[in-house]
Amino acid sequence: MYYHHRELKYVEYDKIFPPPEKVCDKDFIHAYRWLGHYCGYCPQVWLSQCDICMTGFGGEYVLRNDSVLFGFDWIKGFPIDYDLWHFVLSLAPMRPDLPAPELSKLIFKNVVSIDKEYEQEGWGDHEPYAGRTTTVEEFLEKRMFVSDDHFVLPNLNLKSAKKIVCRNEKQKKKLRRKGFIEDRIKIMNVSHYK
Residue 170: CB partners within 8 Å, gap ≥ 6?
none
- What pLDDT was estimated at residue 52? 62
Residues 6 or more apart in contact with residue 12 via CB below 8 angstroms: 158, 178
User: What is the reported pTM?
Assistant: 0.86
Per-residue confidence (pLDDT) for residue 192, from 0 to 100: 47
- Give the chain's residues under pLDDT 70: 50-65, 189-194
Q: In this predicted structure, what is the pLDDT of residue 53?
A: 59
Give the pLDDT of residue 71.
93
Confidence (pLDDT) at 193? 46
> Whole-angstrom Cα distance, residue 103 to residue 32?
12
Instruction: Return all residues near 85 (Cβ < 8 A) that are at least 6 apart.
Output: 31, 150
Question: What's the pLDDT at 66?
Answer: 80
Dist. CA 54–CA 120, nearest whole Å = 32
Q: Do you know the residue count of the chain?
A: 194
The confidence score (pLDDT) of residue 50 equals 66
Q: What is the pLDDT of residue 152?
A: 95
pLDDT tens for each residue of 13-66: 999 999 888 888 888 999 999 999 999 999 999 998 866 655 655 555 444 568
62 touches 56 (CB < 8 A):
yes
pLDDT value of position 65: 66
Beta carbons of 160 and 101 less than 8 angstroms apart: no
> 3-state SS of 46-104?
EEEECCHHHHCCCHHHHHCCCEEEEEECCCCCEECCHHHHHHHHHHCCCCCCCCHHHHH
Q: What is the percent of the chain where pLDDT is above 90?
A: 63
What pLDDT, on a 0 to 100 scale, did the predictor assign at position 194?
Answer: 41
- Is the distance from CB of 121 to CB of 132 less than 8 angstroms? no
- Element (DSSP H or E) covering residue 16: strand 15-16
